[in-house]
Structure 1
Amino acid sequence: MRVADFFCGGGGFSEGFRQAGFEIVFAVDKWGPAVKTYKGNKPGVNVIQDDVIRISELPDDEFEALVPDSEVIIGSPPCQSFSHSNKSGNADKSIGIQLIEAYLRIIARKKFKQKSVLKYWILENVPAVKQYIKEEYSAADLGLEGDFVLRPHDGASGKYNAKYFGAPTNRERYLCGEFPEPIRVKNDNNVTTLKQVLDSLGNPLRTDNNLITDINYPDLKLEAQQVTDQHYIYELAEFECKTAKRLKQDKGYMGKMSFPENLNKPARTVMATMTASAREAMILGYGENSYRLPTVREAACMMSFPIDYWFYGESKGIKHTLVGNAVPPKMSYALAKAIAKAEQIPIPNHYPQIKHDKDIGFVDLNGRKFAVRAEKPRRDVAKFKYHIPYLIIDAYRVELTNYHSDFTQKIFKWDAEIHYSQGKEKAKKYTPALKIKEIPEKYHESIRDYLSRIKPTVTDMDSFQKVYCMTSEQRKPTPWEGPYELLDSIREYIDMLLTPKEQTEVVVIGEEPFSLPLAIVIGYYILTAMVDFMGGSK
């Protein structure tokens, strides 16, 4: 059966169909490195660099001349605008909707024309996309003539997780269209883990040339040094690790994430941007108290790309984008297998190795040296909003912020706030004028002593902003502490002063919210005193 692939990327969606013996007759993507990667791994396929929206609106004769007929059409419109990780799900959806409607327009033009051969079509995207795809589209909805209705959500449409189809990644996606339901090959008891992926490839700095057996395709074996984009290390700087750990394990009310990664589960969703200082960062242990990012090859194996698949990018970042934006080949193979079964078509018994296009130049990261990233100063108008670390009790936390500053005039104002819960309905903010007498008297002397010790480490509010914008090295010779260091110090003091049980004891205060856990009261009182001190010394 023939397959056409729209928004083909580096070829992950097509790869599963290739492995199942389907004939790929057409592919298109707008991004040059994706088209190059597709051509390099699938010589002979008619793959073009073009705009799918433009193609979808071509006159009939031009459209039919460019896009060949096929029994199967697959497509994965770019999903960034629909992802919950993009601006917390509030990104502009208009371009994403245009891309989806362009794809559906192509489906309709092939499906409802005379003598159509199209039997199956699939759209893949993040789960949140479902609410932006209508239940049905008339010809007029898609800017076409006719009286047909296209119903994208019928049949086997639904959410599918790639880990149940053999890919070693916890990657949930929404699939819709007309296709038979793919059959799971894994369950929660036998999914492929991140540890199995890393063990199969071995130490990235290995120098031997022993055979590597592909964790996803056991009959595919390559000599270690033949495996591309694997033999290098991207080690993280200390400041990157601190930032990532804080975002992963102490990000307000978002759930805690493993740091480093939990090797006994499938990999988390592989991102298109392999960043370090982010909550979504995928961080691996590297020696004692050191950490690194996955290699391009490790990420590709997590996505179930075979180890003979090459990513034709000029840089590590481009290669990671090619991997992270893809449809896992194991997922697409399951879909291809279900279609083949429905059509009673046999599929190959063994993995068909890739024959690369030798005329396309390839950049291999093996042996590349990557310097540990140097910390850079923040912009002088950098914003700050964070709470006393790892101190959230009964949904309360104490935050330090400069959000109320005049950033245009560069007049900085730091504030202490008590925040409760999160979300539009539940979140509340309190700024009571707390007096020390509202704290049990037995703690007064210790609190005063602590404040007398910590006050000399800060100065006025504008200078506090300057310290915040310094790098760790720039700050070392100074006597000053920045906001993170101040919050860390307060947390350490509270742990020294109060037992875990005492931290949760309820204290009555004179203003809203009228009662708070003791640790929150003391933390807020100290932070308020420090803010007042900085304001009073100007």
Structure 2
Amino acid sequence: MRAIDLYAGIGGWSLGLRLAGVEVVDSYEWWQPAVDTHNGNHGGELNPTDVRRLKLEDLPSNIDLVVGSPPCTEFSYSNRGGGGDLDEGLKDLVRFLEVVEHLKPKFWVLENVPRVAQVLERGMRDEAHPLYRFRDLGMQIEIIDFSEYGTPQSRRRCIAGNIPFDLVKAYRPRLPRRTLGDVVEAINAKGDIVDPLWGCVLPAAKVTERENEGALNAEELRMNREAKTYHPVYNNMAFPDVMDLPARTVTATCTRVSRESIVIGDSAAGFRRLSIRERASLQGFPITYQFYARSFPEKAKMVGNAIPPTFTYLVAWAAQGVSAEDLIPFAEAGQSLCRPEKAAPVTPPTTEGRTYPAGRSFRAALPGLRFKSGMRFELANGRGREQDWQVRFFFGPSIDVREIILDGDLLSELRKSPLIRAMLMALGVEFANVDQVLQTSSPGALQTAWSHRDSGLGPYQVADLLGELAGRVHQRLLSAATDDHHAVIGYVMEAAAEGEEGDSIPGSKKLTTHALPILSGLLVGAWFNTLPWHRLQKAVA
């Protein structure tokens, strides 16, 4: 079969197709590092090409298979929270299908993020949609998790086309089930490295991209752990990542402290992110594959954007009508793989940040005051403005988030309650102790410590202090309000209704369920926000 590869990236489509005996006549990609990587591994002489500007008459003829992965940025929910320019993204989908319509191949297949399935489905039924004119191309739309097809990574993608999907699915029982632990163990072996998927073998010294990042420092560890296990909106993730399951999705962009980072290790040896080689292997690329980029982040981007060749290999066999019984296993097909003569340049891994912008932003939920579904108390610095270190409380559904302003007015109103006045008097020493710790710093000094320009009290320490204080308030209220729980609910609901019109308060059920800890947070947050500490501007040595 003869194929062309549109939006080719670093060659995930081309590698899988070629290993299955398909001739890839031409590939088209615009990003220079990806072009260099494609050429270096496939022996080609591609030049950067904008697929949108391709002239249809310049395309090769007699093509049996058109494949490709149009850019997913505008469709991805990780891009501006799903607020990408869908019309811009549509241009590449239209262009891909224009090529298919022009070449009339026997088979075609497109890969993209799951959200594209909705776009394609709407396009096939809406006469006014730009994709409607391609409704006769025999499009079938599937959401496929590559971990079910031999890739050691849970990666859900939209696969659309007219390939024999039933045949692809028939391959599943014959495919290996590899885990994150399998990949990490194989890549970090001593002596010869045996590819955990493709079976090819190289001496450890010949396997590039095995340089590991340094362990996460205490601050990075805290940020990483909290983003995964205490995120106010999204579901919890395991920390560290589970080794005996397929990995989570390998992403194109992530930092040492981002929620998307895959982190492995333990408290004794330290926690680290994955090397480029480990990421590439999770993406189904063999240990022979080279990544010709100028930096670690650039390599991470090209790997994270790729389609696993383990899956494209299966597509190629299905297009040729090969049965599950006759499918050549990955480990057998991989015996022909060898490393290109030119090794990829060595690019040092990302290191921990030493200093940060003076206005580095901070935002963290207070321990013990996390209620999921977006309801939380958080300490934030107003995007680096040192006078803006405040505790804020948010509640309500994501489409209608509300805030209770934690200020002197709220504190005065709450102090009218005999129950609360008595509690504040009983815990006066506890509040004074926290105030005393804060006096060792100032808003400006706290910001300086957060930007690593000086040592001293840090914002996570402040968040912990306030969370612990709220916990003690909660315990006191719990014992004092046994017979007055309705009053506690009333204080919370009255605060939530402040400034609202009508009787409906979003998230009222959750507010009443967690009334005691919420009241504790309201008291501590309003107390903190009105402290004279906020007016301190101590000189920082």
- Cα distance in 1 for residues equivalent to 2:128 and 2:474: 68
Q: Does the CA contact (< 8 Å) of 1:420 and 1:428 recur in 2?
A: yes
- Cα distance in 2 for residues equivalent to 1:371 and 1:336: 36
Deviation sequence 1:97-127 (CA, Å, 0-9, x none):
222222122122212xxxxxx1111110000
Q: Does the CA contact (< 8 Å) of 1:417 and 1:429 recur in 2?
A: yes
| 1:486 alignment partner in structure 2 | 462
Q: Does the CA contact (< 8 Å) of 2:317 and 2:327 recur in 1?
A: yes
Following TM superposition, by how much is the alpha carbon of 1:326 offset from its aligned partner in structure 2, in angstroms?
0.4
| 2:179 alignment partner in structure 1 | 193
My pick for the range that moved more, 281-290 or 101-110, is: 281-290
Distance 1:500 1:248, change over 3 A: farther
| 1:354 alignment partner in structure 2 | 337
Counterpart AA for 2:51: V
- Cα distance in 2 for residues equivalent to 1:376 and 1:455: 28
Q: Does the CA contact (< 8 Å) of 1:340 and 1:346 recur in 2?
A: no
Question: Does 2:434 correspond to 1:467?
Answer: no
1:168-247 alignment, distance < 5 Å: 168-181=152-165, 182-183=168-169, 185-186=171-172, 191-202=177-188, 208-209=190-191, 211-218=192-199, 220-247=200-227
Distance 1:537 1:228, change over 3 A: closer
Correspondence for 2:399 among 421, 424, 429: 424
Deviation sequence 1:8-44 (CA, Å, 0-9, x none):
011012211111111111001001111111111112x
My pick for the range that moved more, 18-27 or 87-96, is: 87-96
- Cα distance in 1 for residues equivalent to 2:463 and 2:355: 21
Amino-acid identity (%)? 25
Distance 1:417 1:238, change over 3 A: closer
User: Structure 1: which 5+ residue stretches go unaligned?
Assistant: 112-117
Following TM superposition, by how much is the alpha carbon of 1:67 offset from its aligned partner in structure 2, in angstroms?
3.6
| 1:106 alignment partner in structure 2 | 99
Q: Give 3-state SS (helix, strand or coil) of 1:419's partner.
A: strand
| 1:21 alignment partner in structure 2 | 21
Distance 1:509 1:149, change over 3 A: closer
| Higher share in helix | 2
Deviation sequence 1:161-183 (CA, Å, 0-9, x none):
10000000000000112211022
Following TM superposition, by how much is the alpha carbon of 1:282 offset from its aligned partner in structure 2, in angstroms?
1.4
Following TM superposition, by how much is the alpha carbon of 1:151 offset from its aligned partner in structure 2, in angstroms?
2.2
Correspondence for 1:135 among 123, 134, 155: 123
Q: Does the CA contact (< 8 Å) of 1:274 and 1:282 recur in 2?
A: no
Q: Give 3-state SS (helix, strand or coil) of 2:370's partner.
A: coil
Correspondence for 2:69 among 52, 65, 76: 76
Question: What is the CA RMSD across the aligned residues, in angstroms?
Answer: 3.6
1:373-392 alignment, distance < 5 Å: 373-380=352-359, 382-392=360-370
- Cα distance in 2 for residues equivalent to 1:246 and 1:23: 48
Q: Does the CA contact (< 8 Å) of 2:364 and 2:378 recur in 1?
A: yes
Deviation sequence 1:123-156 (CA, Å, 0-9, x none):
100001223335349999879xxxx942288554
Deviation sequence 1:298-356 (CA, Å, 0-9, x none):
10111111111111122222221221110011111121121111699977563153355
Distance 1:66 1:137, change over 3 A: farther
Q: Give 3-state SS (helix, strand or coil) of 1:275's partner.
A: coil
Counterpart AA for 1:517: A
Distance 1:491 1:3, change over 3 A: same
Counterpart AA for 2:17: F
Q: Does the CA contact (< 8 Å) of 1:20 and 1:347 recur in 2?
A: no
Following TM superposition, by how much is the alpha carbon of 1:392 offset from its aligned partner in structure 2, in angstroms?
2.4
1:304-319 alignment, distance < 5 Å: 304-319=284-299
| 1:165 alignment partner in structure 2 | 149
Q: Does the CA contact (< 8 Å) of 1:4 and 1:70 recur in 2?
A: yes
| 1:114 alignment partner in structure 2 | none
Counterpart AA for 1:247: A
Counterpart AA for 1:485: Q
Question: Does 2:252 correspond to 1:272?
Answer: yes
- Cα distance in 2 for residues equivalent to 1:416 and 1:339: 58
- Cα distance in 1 for residues equivalent to 2:358 and 2:29: 37
- Cα distance in 2 for residues equivalent to 1:171 and 1:501: 47
User: Structure 2: which 5+ residue stretches go unaligned?
Assistant: 498-511, 537-541
1:226-375 alignment, distance < 5 Å: 226-285=206-265, 288=268, 290-341=270-321, 350-352=332-334, 353-355=336-338, 358=341, 362-364=344-346, 372-375=351-354
Deviation sequence 1:456-493 (CA, Å, 0-9, x none):
343699x51552243476553x4xx4543222112223
Deviation sequence 1:488-517 (CA, Å, 0-9, x none):
112223445656994998523442348553
Question: Does 2:508 correspond to 1:520?
Answer: no
Counterpart AA for 1:493: L
- Cα distance in 1 for residues equivalent to 2:318 and 2:372: 49
Q: Does the CA contact (< 8 Å) of 2:70 and 2:92 recur in 1?
A: yes
Counterpart AA for 1:74: V
Distance 1:97 1:451, change over 3 A: same
Q: Give 3-state SS (helix, strand or coil) of 1:389's partner.
A: strand
* TM value normalised by structure 2: 0.82
* TM value normalised by structure 1: 0.82
Q: Does the CA contact (< 8 Å) of 1:253 and 1:421 recur in 2?
A: no
Following TM superposition, by how much is the alpha carbon of 1:452 offset from its aligned partner in structure 2, in angstroms?
1.1
Distance 1:163 1:242, change over 3 A: same
